Amino acid sequence: MKNRYLYKFYYYIFLFSILFIFSCKDTDVVGLEVQPSSDRIEISSSNFGQNDSLFSITISTESVDSLRSDETSSLLLGSMFDPIFGFIHSSFFTQISLSESNIDLGDNPIADSVVFSYSYSGYYGDLTSFNELEVYYCTDNIYKDSIYYSNYAQSDCDNSLNGLLASFEINSDTSISPTLKMNLGGGIGQQILDMGTDDLLIDNETFKDNFGYFKIIPNTPFSHSMALNTILYLNPSGSNTVFTVYYHNNSSDSLRLDFVLDGESARINIFNEKPLSVLNLGADFAYVQSMAGFKSKLVLQNTNLLAGALEGKAINKVTLSFDIENDENYPAHENLSLVRVDSSGNNIFLSDYITEGVTHFGGSLNNDQYTFNITRYFYNLLYDSSFTSDLYLLSSGGSINANRTVINNSSLKITVLYSDL
């Protein structure tokens, strides 16, 4: 019995001691008191900018030749004149696809009207200035299983002075799906109905092999689009996106034939060429622009000297950051992409992005600044001779947005956080 009470006494003494230790408020002090000063890790941070004597970065602007632009989630339509980037123009090509097979139009189908409409998810610029538009029919073909780029040139579109468009309107009511509605003349509708008489509306493959596609441009043949200041983001899968032929036949006056604009419909965004000569270059700035516009090249200099300075140190974190020139009339990109150039000249994603993911990697605009975590890339650059020192800043989603970014070169810096062991 005595031993049992003694056991309980020692148990409570032990429990009280544990609770006392963990209830100390300054836990960091306890750790530092028992750690020898010679074993402590001192954290330092070094910033290297454009003109650093040890390590520097050069930045320049280059034109983007073209972007892959087929089957994008948004179709861009509009024109702008930017005081820095010059003239910007976006049109697109699209097929239409049958919504069902083996269509029976009845006896003597006659087209009454055609409505070509798109839901739109947003726009860049001033929506009220969107006041010029045209639609043309192209007799050649494009294909869903082919790859197309933003400089694709059609071979046979009807570019006569009289296009298909009778009128158009933009409904910007956000309580419903905002819509661009284009009213076409009945001629193109009758052309489609006549295909039913020839048994060409039996399935999509037969229809698309015999019909062609449409070209939609933001201006008329008489305009230079200087009055426009909008790029619309059209949604090919939107709730109000449809191509409809309204018609009547011998037995009914109110019939419609609907076509879909996504699914099996090939589509291509087309952007105007933007040579470096059109850019209003400033010596203190670099530029990134969507729609096959411009990209910025970064070259890291004297990396061998920096490797020597960091010898015997542990690299904990490395970031690349820079500020932008903010212009409310021309918003910057919400995100930029940073890629490296490999020894074969190909652009590839950094391992920081591939391994750690976009949240860790960064690249989002925050308080007029972009920051990228490039720790893995930087380490490989210093100690792997196969790595090049060339990086590119690219527009993120360059085929589906119209944003542009002006970089303040003097703010460009790489911050290295390291440990002296």
- Report the candidate in 346, 257, 249, 262 with the shortest Cα–Cα distance to residue 94: 262
Token output for 103: 């269509």
User: 265 and 316 in one domain?
Assistant: no
Residue 328: give its domain's CATH number.
Answer: 2.60.120
User: 279 and 193 in one domain?
Assistant: no
Read off the pLDDT of residues 55-64 as tens digits, 9 standing for 90 and up: 788 899 999 9
Considering 225, 247, 271, which residue would you say is the last residue of a domain?
271
| Alpha carbon distance 336, 44 (integer Å) | 28
State which H helix or E strand residue 304 sits in. helix 303-309
Do the domain assignments include residue 8?
no
Do the domain assignments include residue 397?
yes
Write down the pLDDT at residue 226. 54
User: 241 and 367 in one domain?
Assistant: no
Token output for 218: 């933001």
Domain span at residue 135 reads 75-271
Write down the pLDDT at residue 56. 81
Write down the pLDDT at residue 20. 39
User: 389 and 297 in one domain?
Assistant: yes
Do the domain assignments include residue 7?
no
Token output for 307: 């490797």
Write down the pLDDT at residue 44. 53
- Between helix 204-211 and helix 186-197 the angle, nearest 10°, is 130
Considering 239, 271, 303, which residue would you say is the last residue of a domain?
271
Domain count, the chain: 2
Read off the pLDDT of residues 189-240 as tens digits, 9 standing for 90 and up: 999 999 998 999 999 999 999 999 999 999 755 455 455 789 999 999 999 9
Read off the pLDDT of residues 295-338 as tens digits, 9 standing for 90 and up: 999 998 888 888 888 888 899 999 999 999 999 999 999 999 99
User: 332 and 252 in one domain?
Assistant: no
User: 300 and 218 in one domain?
Assistant: no
User: 108 and 58 in one domain?
Assistant: no
Q: Where are the beta strands (DSSP E) in 9-109?
A: 42-48, 56-63, 75-82, 86-94, 97-98
Q: How far is CA 84 from CA 71, 202, 358, 372, in A?
A: 30, 51, 30, 26
* Angle made by CA atoms 144, 149, 150, in degrees to the nearest 5: 120
Flag residues of the chain having pLDDT under 50.
1-43, 222, 225
User: 262 and 204 in one domain?
Assistant: yes
User: 310 and 256 in one domain?
Assistant: no
Write down the pLDDT at residue 95. 97
State which H helix or E strand residue 47 sits in. strand 42-48
Write down the pLDDT at residue 173. 76
Q: Are 75 and 402 in contact (CB under 8 A)?
A: no
User: 282 and 253 in one domain?
Assistant: no
User: 134 and 224 in one domain?
Assistant: yes
| Alpha carbon distance 7, 25 (integer Å) | 31
Give the rounded percent of residues in the chain with a pLDDT score beyond 90: 67
User: 300 and 174 in one domain?
Assistant: no
Considering 271, 291, 321, which residue would you say is the last residue of a domain?
271
Do the domain assignments include residue 10?
no
